[in-house]
């Protein structure tokens, strides 16, 4: 395939590709081959994939193009390549959870989200690299914008694959900041929905109170397209509940009845924000104007949210990773060992008390959301650090994961060193569609101002 064709297809949004695939303007084979070209040229530099087989991809697109020729209705993601974080079970395909302990592990069944993707006609491109057991020990992945900088974690491979044009869409998970942070570092859109919106059945469980499935794409409409397919109810996941179809894409693509109002929040840990972040948010608030953006402090309950989230995360991780811990220190990184030891030492009364705070935190946000469409806040303290021994600081992510609120980061800022930075928007629980509409408005507004 000609390089200019590869460039054109891999630079397209998922929504644009979906429309062209549905109309017959392009075939699934053409899109897949463009992505395969990009993987061949950039994978050695980026390291986004834990498992990838071009022949497996080609078998899928041949079947999809044959199906389209029958004239029958197409799935919502027909012919769109999707990357899957390697903690998501895939039948007859390795799922190794980022650890040598699970090397060679091949599940018998697909996770809920994989079954949904296949039913929607998506092309499973492979398994994207993740950190060790989806925690903080960095994976092999490098930031596509500069390989000397971290891509974030733990969904590093998913974010990097989208940023490098290897796939238009990818799936990850967030327990602290594992969707929002890598999306911001890699310059793509990352969406962490309301807790429990997407079933986690068939996905490595680190923390049942916090684990949330999220998605990556180029812009807000892309993540809405993918999340629309994945939202649902699975009886095996008690965090989920029966709900009507969310219509995320339809709402996100619509014009808001009024220009959105943003509440600028400088969360706990603001002193860690670097000068680029502080300057960028001051400029953004000034550009929006006082009528559309006002600064507001978080309720005092949020002061301890980071520590409470950590307590829950580590206590549940110590339980859920017990069999991994039994394998012995030689098989686990020091950073994971320390977390498991801390979790094992947590007292039951302290763990149970921490669980009570999620609803307290969300209730504390009600006053803000009664006056604003979304909270406006950084996705990370700054751009991706030039340090491959870290995945970055999740200080500006974990409190929203803990509160169970939806969050989305959009790639609209650039640091003084040329690296991307994300603007994070947070909405009220259950208001995912409205949040994505607000994010799409800001994404387009800033693009218009910059053009």
How far CA 168 is from CA of 39, 83, 164, in Å, comes to 12, 9, 9
Question: How far, in whole angstroms, is CA 214 from its chain's centroid?
Answer: 4
Q: What is the dihedral of CA 86, 221, 225, 362, to 10 degrees?
A: 70
Pick the catalytic residue: 27, 85, 118, 127? 85
What residue has token string 């012995």?
Answer: 328
Pick the catalytic residue: 12, 118, 127, 154? 154
Between CA 196 and CA 210 the distance in angstroms is 9
Between CA 44 and CA 39 the distance in angstroms is 8
**Sign of dihedral through CA atoms 418, 416, 284, 158?**
positive
Q: Are strands 374-378 and 262-264 parallel, antiparallel or unpaired?
A: parallel
Pick the catalytic residue: 12, 155, 158, 178? 178
- Residue 67: count other Cβ atoms within 10 Å of its Cβ: 16
Q: Which two tokens stand for residue 90?
A: 């895939």
In the sheet that 189-192 helps form, which strands lie side by side, from edge to edge? 49-51, 123-128, 81-85, 169-174, 212-217, 189-192, 407-414, 420-426, 374-378, 262-264, 293-295
Between CA 288 and CA 282 the distance in angstroms is 10
Clarify whether 85 is annotated catalytic.
Answer: yes
Q: Is 51 helix (H, G, I), strand (E, B) or coil?
A: strand
Clarify whether 13 is annotated catalytic.
Answer: no
Q: Is 163 helix (H, G, I), strand (E, B) or coil?
A: helix
What angle (nearest 5°) sits at the alpha carbon of residue 442, between those of residues 439 and 443?
80
Clarify whether 154 is annotated catalytic.
Answer: yes
Q: Tell me the DSSP string of 62-104.
A: HHHHHHHTTTPPPPTTTT-EEEEETTB-BTTB---TTSGGGTT
Catalytic positions: 85, 154, 178
């Amino acid at each position: 395939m000609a390089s200019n064709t590869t460039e054109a297809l891999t630079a397209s949004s998922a929504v644009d590709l979906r429309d062209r695939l549905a109309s017959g303007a392009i075939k699934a084979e053409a899109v897949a081959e463009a992505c395969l070209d990009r993987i061949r040229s950039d994978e050695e530099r980026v390291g986004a994939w834990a498992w990838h087989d071009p022949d497996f991809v080609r078998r899928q697109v041949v079947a999809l193009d044959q199906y389209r020729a029958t004239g029958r209705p197409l799935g919502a993601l027909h012919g769109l390549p999707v990357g899957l974080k390697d903690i998501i079970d895939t039948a007859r395909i390795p799922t190794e959870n980022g650890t040598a302990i699970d090397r060679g592990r091949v599940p018998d069944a697909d996770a809920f989200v994989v079954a949904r993707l296949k039913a929607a006609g998506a092309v499973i491109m492979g398994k994207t690299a993740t950190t060790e057991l989806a925690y903080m020990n960095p994976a092999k992945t490098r930031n596509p914008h500069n390989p000397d900088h971290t891509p974030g974690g733990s969904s590093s491979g998913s974010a990097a694959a989208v940023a490098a044009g290897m796939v238009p869409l990818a799936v990850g998970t967030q327990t602290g900041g594992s969707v929002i942070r890598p999306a911001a570092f890699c310059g793509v859109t990352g969406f962490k929905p309301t807790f429990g919106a997407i079933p986690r059945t068939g996905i490595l469980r680190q923390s049942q109170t916090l684990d949330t499935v999220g998605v990556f794409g180029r812009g807000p409409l892309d993540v809405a397209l993918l999340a629309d397919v994945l939202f649902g109810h699975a009886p095996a996941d008690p965090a989920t509940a029966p709900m009507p179809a969310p219509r995320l894409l339809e709402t996100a693509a619509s014009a808001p009845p009024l220009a959105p109002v943003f509440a600028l929040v400088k969360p706990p840990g603001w002193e860690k924000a670097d000068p680029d972040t502080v300057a960028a948010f001051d400029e953004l608030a000034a550009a929006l104007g006082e009528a559309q953006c006002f600064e507001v402090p978080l309720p005092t309950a949020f002061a301890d949210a980071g520590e409470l989230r950590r307590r829950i995360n580590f206590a549940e991780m110590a339980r859920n990773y017990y069999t991994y811990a039994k394998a012995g220190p030689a098989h686990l990184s020091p950073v994971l060992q320390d977390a498991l030891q801390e979790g094992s030492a947590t007292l039951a009364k302290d763990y149970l008390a921490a669980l009570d705070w999620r609803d307290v935190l969300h209730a504390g946000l009600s006053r803000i959301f009664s006056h604003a469409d979304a909270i406006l806040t950084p996705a990370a303290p700054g751009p991706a650090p030039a340090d491959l021994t870290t995945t970055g600081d999740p200080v500006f992510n974990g409190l929203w994961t803990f509160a169970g609120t939806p969050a989305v980061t959009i790639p609209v800022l650039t640091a003084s060193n040329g690296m991307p930075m994300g603007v994070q928007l947070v909405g009220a629980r259950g208001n995912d569609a409205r949040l994505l509409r607000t994010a799409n408005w800001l994404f387009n507004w800033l693009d218009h101002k910059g053009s």
